[in-house]
A and B are shown apart, each in its own frame.
Chain A
Amino acid sequence: MDAILLQILNGLDKGSAYALIALGLTLIFGTLGVVNFAHGALFMIGAFCAVTLQKVMNLSFVTIDETQTDFLGNPLKVETPYVEAWFGPEVGASIIDWSVPLAILFAIPIMLLVGYVMERGLIKHFYKRPHADQILVTFGLAIVLQEIVKYFFGANPIQTPPPDALSGSVDLGTMIGFDPNAIIYPIWRLVYFGFAVAIIGAVFSFLQFTTFGMVVRAGMADRETVGLLGINIDRRFTIMFGIAAAVAGLAGVMYGPLNPPNYHMGMDFLVLSFVVVVVGGMGSLPGAVLAGFLLGILESFASTTWATTTIPGINQIIIYLVAIIVLLTRPRGLMGRKGVMED
């Protein structure tokens, strides 16, 4: 029992990332009808927002401290980050420590801007072109974004540690009545899961309870009629593209402490996120979220030693297998609607 619970928990963090990326993909597909192969790159850019902020926070100046000497007797060089000099050592240190969560504030405007520029500058011209062209141009864009990041940050993964307060593990088992040490779980994964749920909740309630969201939903159902009613639906869809980009970016920001970001992390996630979208049903937002968590948990179950000794390598291929089976037996996906991308 506790083993099962542990595997479910283990699947939640990857599942959260899948769900967030797939949510953005579906949002873009449902509103603009564009298949965005550059969405993984947006996730990666989000992660590198955190990296950038961390680097900026650690910018420091060197002073020579005459009171301390190294083993040769020379005065020691002390590096003081500017933030510590400005805000005082204690506040500054905690700002540096919390740079990953702080990067959320920094990433939101950047990702909205990136999404807006991408839609207005490139995607806009591809609405009337075939899906194959959309796939190709966003694929090209993904390569370009990836290579730009590689140029500035190098090819190696960069460590982005979580804040000290959230970096340890917690014994979840004792809280719900299992033996001690049965379920030990890193705190940051719980934080990531909670964060993902909050973002997903925010997106859904934005669509459900605001006038803007209502218009967007109407546009998803029938774009032309909404346009005829005198509403500038294109502008709203552009904003939705920005929001989808921000969702992917935030997923990336918070993912850094789980897995050090490198320039091709987006591509790795993109392929799986597409599979998630397809399993969930193209154009269905709840489907994307549900399938994201389901596949994440499934992958975690397939990674147990029991599963990998029964069928070697099942953890590597389980998601693809499930996708193939779902597509062949239930072509619309788990929660796909009739009439959306039927062919």
Chain B
Amino acid sequence: MLGLNKKDTSLLIIVAILTLLAPFILNPFPEGSAMAQFNAGYPDLMQRFVIFGIFAIGFNILFGLTGYLSFGHAAFLGVGSYSAVWMFKLLSYNVIPAIALSVVVAGLFSLLIGFVSLRRSGIYFSILTLAFAQMSFALAYSVLSNPKFNLTNGETGLQVYADDPQILQGANAPDLPHLFGLPMRATYTMDVGAWSFDFNAGYYLCAVIMMAVFYLAIRIFRSPFGMMLRAVKSNQQRMNYTGLNSKPYTLAAFVISGMYAGLAGGLMAAMDPLAGAERMQWTASGEVVLMTILGGTGTLIGPVLGAGFIKYFENIFSKINDNVLHSWFAFLPDGLEDAVVFLIHPFIGKGWHLTLGILFMLVVIYLPGGLVEGGQRLLNRFKRRKTGTDDAPSGKTEPAE
């Protein structure tokens, strides 16, 4: 279907079903029950899942295929957000031109940065992209927000004001981001017994776009172009010796992933018409690296899983506090209960970043393939035990050297 083989088609269908039914899947616990705090089916969080999924898919096209580790991808996300908000300010609140412009601007910006950074590889590339991203952050945060030429509105963040021109804004169009009149905040709540499910217009826009770009990513992975990128990762020198110039391929990959990041930034602004410089900071670049590694670098589904995993646990862990812990461990004797809560306390609430850092280190050390590799290993072990043989295929082909 759609030029994909059977396996990829089923992967795409699974992803499509999961994203379309996410409001049901993410809300498995009835409203008002003790477990309701583990529900993730509210619009804001679901939007973040898919938007960061898009961001990570794009990052993976660069890092997973070519092995170039960029530490500056948040810059493209930020640029995308800024251009989308400018579109809101100048044209109208319709999201289509905003998202289109954010992709184009991020593409051009990444062409510029990629052209310069890709002259070096390895760690130099990482440092160059990091330097560019920090420079963009500094520019957005302070330099481009002076009264004479206010492009980013500095610390406050760029937002739409009442006296902005908005030349195409119709008289009866909604006064917030909308898709031809359908506001992004429109939510239909369905109550089934004790459960309640939210269907949000903005989420479904993001979800449809994510499926489209996921399909695109599959096609890139399976194309001759994707093979070229993998060749860059496995041995760039050998590729150059055979007379191929690898630069156009890596640059194309860089620009594509930059455009994905711009798209994510544009969608972020479309969900909430505000763009701040902190989106470009290098910690934000680090976050997408974490997502991709955690999910599984170079796999199709990995980055989406990683993004969902990190955003979900960020949300849940930040909500848990000592009282919740005490109620969980109430079955233990008092002294032990306090000890357990005391031990867990640093890792929850505001300590989520600590948990994330430890988790990330563990993944890099023991499971370089991320969650996807972990799943495969478990599956293989399970299969082996079932058949009773030890020579189950590892599912991984060793490169011939």
Chain A residues with CB under 8 Å of chain B are 35, 122, 125, 129-133, 135-137, 139-144, 146-148, 151, 267, 271, 274-275, 278, 282, 312-313, 316-317, 320-321, 323-324, 327-328, 331, 341, 343
The CA-CA distance from A198 to B131 in the complex, in Å, is: 30
Q: How far is the CB of A128 from chain B (nearest CB, A)?
A: 12
Contact between A324 and B364, CB atoms less than 8 A apart: no
Contact between B130 and A317, CB atoms less than 8 A apart: no
The CA-CA distance from A135 to B289 in the complex, in Å, is: 11
Contact between B142 and A151, CB atoms less than 8 A apart: no
The CA-CA distance from A133 to B353 in the complex, in Å, is: 20
Residues of A within 8 A of B353 (CB): 143, 147
Who on chain B is nearest to A132 by CB?
A: B69
- Interface membership of B124, Cβ < 8 A: yes
Residues of A within 8 A of B30 (CB): none
The CA-CA distance from A252 to B53 in the complex, in Å, is: 38
- Interface membership of B167, Cβ < 8 A: no
Residues of B within 8 A of A267 (CB): 283
Residues of B within 8 A of A271 (CB): 130-131, 134, 282
Partner of A323, one of B131, B365, B368: B131
- Interface membership of B231, Cβ < 8 A: no
Contact between A147 and B354, CB atoms less than 8 A apart: yes
Contact between B365 and A331, CB atoms less than 8 A apart: no
Known: A143-B356, A328-B116, A341-B123. A317 touches B138 (CB 8 A): yes
The CA-CA distance from A136 to B365 in the complex, in Å, is: 10
Residues of B within 8 A of A321 (CB): 135
Per-residue interface assignment for chain B, residues 283 to 300, with 1 indicating a CB less than 8 Å from any chain A CB and 0 otherwise: 100100100010000000
Contact between B361 and A317, CB atoms less than 8 A apart: no
> Looking at B121, B130, B131, B360, which has the most chain A CB atoms within 10 Å of its CB?
B131
Contact between B346 and A151, CB atoms less than 8 A apart: yes
Contact between A313 and B139, CB atoms less than 8 A apart: yes
Q: How far is the CB of B150 from chain A (nearest CB, A)?
A: 12
Partner of B130, one of A122, A125, A274: A274
Interface members, chain B 113-152 (any A CB < 8 Å): 116, 119-124, 126-128, 130-132, 134-135, 138-139, 141-144, 146
Known: A131-B122, A317-B143. A140 touches B130 (CB 8 A): no
Known: A148-B354, A151-B354. A320 touches B131 (CB 8 A): yes
The CA-CA distance from A102 to B282 in the complex, in Å, is: 35
The CA-CA distance from A328 to B117 in the complex, in Å, is: 9
Contact between B134 and A341, CB atoms less than 8 A apart: no
Partner of A137, one of B116, B346, B361: B361
The CA-CA distance from A84 to B201 in the complex, in Å, is: 68
Contact between B123 and A35, CB atoms less than 8 A apart: yes
Q: How far is the CB of A29 from chain B (nearest CB, A)?
A: 9
From DSSP, what is the main secondary structure of chain B's interface residues?
helix
Q: A151-B351, A316-B143, A323-B131 are in contact. List 19 more A-B contacts (CB 8 A).
A: A132-B69, A133-B364, A136-B360, A139-B286, A139-B360, A143-B360, A147-B357, A148-B354, A267-B283, A271-B130, A282-B123, A282-B124, A313-B146, A316-B139, A317-B135, A317-B138, A320-B131, A321-B135, A327-B120
> Looking at B135, B144, B282, which has the most chain A CB atoms within 10 Å of its CB?
B135
The CA-CA distance from A327 to B124 in the complex, in Å, is: 8
- Interface membership of B67, Cβ < 8 A: yes
The CA-CA distance from A313 to B122 in the complex, in Å, is: 30
Residues of A within 8 A of B69 (CB): 132, 135-136
Partner of A131, one of B120, B123, B351: B123
Q: List 15 A-B contacts (CB under 8 A).
A: A122-B365, A135-B69, A136-B293, A140-B358, A144-B361, A147-B357, A151-B354, A267-B283, A275-B131, A278-B124, A316-B135, A316-B142, A317-B138, A327-B119, A341-B124
The CA-CA distance from A136 to B138 in the complex, in Å, is: 24
Q: How far is the CB of A57 from chain B (nearest CB, A)?
A: 26
Residues of B within 8 A of A320 (CB): 131-132, 134-135, 138
The CA-CA distance from A122 to B146 in the complex, in Å, is: 46
Residues of A within 8 A of B368 (CB): 129, 133
Partner of B357, one of A133, A140, A317, A323: A140
Who on chain B is nearest to A311 by CB?
A: B143
The CA-CA distance from A183 to B40 in the complex, in Å, is: 60
Partner of A136, one of B122, B128, B130, B364: B364
> Looking at A141, A142, A144, A274, which has the most chain B CB atoms within 10 Å of its CB?
A144
Contact between B134 and A136, CB atoms less than 8 A apart: no
> Looking at A131, A320, A324, which has the most chain B CB atoms within 10 Å of its CB?
A320
